[in-house]
Amino acid sequence: MFLLEYYKKLVCNVAYEFFKDVFKEASVIGLGTGSTVRYFIDLLVQNSMLKEKIVFSSSTSTHNYLASMGIESRLAPEASSQIDVYIDGFDEASIRMDLVKGRGGAFNWEKILASRSKLRIYVGDYSKFNGKDYLYLKPIPIEVKPNKLMSVYNYFKDRGFNPVIRMDSKSSYVVTDSGNNIIDIKPGVILDPEAFDKELRIDGVVETGIFINKLVDYILISGPEKGLVRVMCRRM
C-alpha cells in the first residue's frame, strides 16, 4: 500500500510539472474524484493555481475537499459551457486508452466534465494499466435509477454479466450524488468498449463507467519500470 501511494504521488508530481502552464493559463478547470487526483489537487492549491478560476467538482466529495482548503467550486451538473482542462484518476486503462472509472461512484458527473473539456488528463499507477488492447480487469459500474434497479439487474444477470448491486458499510444500497444506485458488472473481455457502452444503455441506466478513448487525451502512469512514468497521448 505504501508503495502504491508513492507512485500515486509521483505521477501527480510529474503531471503537474508537465501541465502546470496549462492549468495556469486555464480559466475553467474540472477536477475529478479519488485518492490519486487528490494529490494533484493538493499541488494546485499549494501553488495557488486555483485562485481566480472557475472550478468544477465531479463529486460532493471533491467539492467538500476543496471547501476545506478555502476553494470554492461548482458541481458538475452546473457546467453548461466548455471547460479548459480536466484531470482525474482511473481504475483501468488499456493500451488503446479506453478507461474504466467509477469505484468512487462519481463516474456520471466525471463523464459530464470530461465530455465538456478541451483537454482531458488522467493519472494513475501501474496496477491500473492492463497492457492489453481491450478492457477486462475491473468491474464496470453502472448508475441506475432506483425504480429500475431490479429490472436492470435482472437484464444483466440474464446476459451473464454477473451483476452485483453496490452496498455501503451499513449494508444499504449505495446512493450516488445524483440520487441513483450502482450495479457493478463483470462481463469479461470487452473488445469494443464503445459498442459495449451503447449496449448497456437500456431503460433505467443513467451512465456507465466506460470512458472510451474519445474522452481521453493524456494518460500518465507511474510504476517501477525504467523511466518511472509512462505518458500516453492521443494528441500530436
What the block records as the C-alpha cell of 4 is: 502504491
Instruction: Please name which of 49, 37, 119 lies closest in space to residue 84, comparing C-alpha atoms.
Output: 119
Distance from C-alpha of 51 to C-alpha of 1, rounded to nearest angstrom = 33
Sheet holding 210-211, edge to edge: 92-93, 99-100, 210-211
Instruction: Please name which of 18, 66, 21, 56 lies closest in space to residue 233, comparing C-alpha atoms.
Output: 18
- DSSP annotation of 139 reads P
Residue of 5, 72, 92, 110 marked active site = 110
- Residue 52 annotated in active site: no
Distance from C-alpha of 131 to C-alpha of 119, rounded to nearest angstrom = 24
Give just the sign of the alpha carbon dihedral 194, 198, 75, 137: negative
Q: Which residues are catalytic?
A: 110
